[in-house]
Structure 1
Amino acid sequence: MMRLHPILALFLFIPLSYAHAASDTPPPTMWYWHNWTDHNGVSHNTRCPLQNFDLKSMSKPAGPQWQNRLPSGQSQVIFTVQPAHWNGTWHPDPKVQWIIPLKGSWYVTAMDGTKAVMGPGDVSLGEDQASRKDAKGHVGHFAGNVGDGPVELMVIQTDETPTVDRPCRFR
């Protein structure tokens, strides 16, 4: 009978035990902010759950991890550094885009007055392209930095068609 070296046996056991333990765990929930537009052209910020996770390997033989794959398509990844005290005044997002702060904190204020403050690890989906100017001349959202330092963001612009009246459209 062939015997495995104890260290090799340990490395063979870990991925299997991890896969078994993780499969007994319910899928996780992650959260994102969605800046969306209603049928009146008013933007809103809603905190939304991502819940449709599958446990599988991203690239075998790597162990399984929880994955929630959104629709695929063309995308552009942009890294930005907003200078200290940057503000974006009122504007709609240029495209449906995911925004992830990497360093520092920033905020997004929607036309309905909701303000989402985000720091490293938070996620925002900007989808207010259908917003229309209100009586004050506001359209889209107002964004800016929190604090006295610069803010580093990763922006992933997609080719998704903007929607209306669909808060939390990605689950």
Structure 2
Amino acid sequence: MNNMKTNHETQQKYYHLWTDKSHISRTTEHYLTGFTLIQYSNPNPEYHYKDLPEVINSEFAILPPSWESDFHPTPSPQWVITLSGRWRTTTKDGICVTYQPGDVHFGGDLPLEGVPLNQQGHKALNPSSKESTKVLILSVNTPLSIPESQF
């Protein structure tokens, strides 16, 4: 019997951090869809999504216990994948999202010209006083587009 996943399981949730036309940072939940079945190894094919922006830099980051940032924009478009621990973002609209291992975040609240850095973007923190948080950061060459329904 074939163990292939059903269509509702062939998507990937991510949280998109972006800035609206009023320069307010926001986080919205989205899904990557359009995975295709590719056979790399026999006998079982796998689902892949290949329409991601090109990765231009990759790095691991460790957020120490109780680490916290000031408000800041994301320096460049980037995927952040939580490997261990938890971390949280708070956007200018007041929305807090806590990321657990396996959660995917896309930082697209890029620097705004003429706006002081501490007056834009988001805050981030590690809420644990005991554990570090480990993330993989993949900087990409282009930001994701914001669906028109978000404006």
TM-score, normalization by structure 1: 0.74
Residues 32 and 50, structure 1, Cα contact 8 Å, conserved in 2: yes
Cα distance between partner residues in 2 of 1:118 and 1:78:
18
Alignment pair present for 1:151 and 2:143: no
Give 4+ residue runs of structure 1 displaced > 3 Å after superposition: 130-134
Say what the alpha-carbon RMSD is for the aligned residues: 2.3
Q: What does residue 122 of structure 2 align with?
A: 141
Alignment pair present for 1:50 and 2:32: yes
Q: Percent identity?
A: 26
Q: 1:66 to 1:113 in 2, by over 3 A?
A: same
Cα distance between partner residues in 1 of 2:43 and 2:137:
27
Cα distance between partner residues in 2 of 1:98 and 1:43:
17
Counterpart secondary structure, 2:65 = coil
Q: Which has the higher helix share?
A: 1
How many residue pairs get aligned? The number is 144
Cα distance between partner residues in 2 of 1:42 and 1:131:
11
Query: 105, 116, 123: which one pairs with 1:124?
Result: 105
Residues 101 and 118, structure 1, Cα contact 8 Å, conserved in 2: yes
Cα distance between partner residues in 2 of 1:82 and 1:111:
22
Structure possessing the higher radius of gyration over alpha carbons: 1
Residues 56 and 63, structure 1, Cα contact 8 Å, conserved in 2: no
Residues 37 and 131, structure 1, Cα contact 8 Å, conserved in 2: no
Residues 105 and 145, structure 1, Cα contact 8 Å, conserved in 2: yes
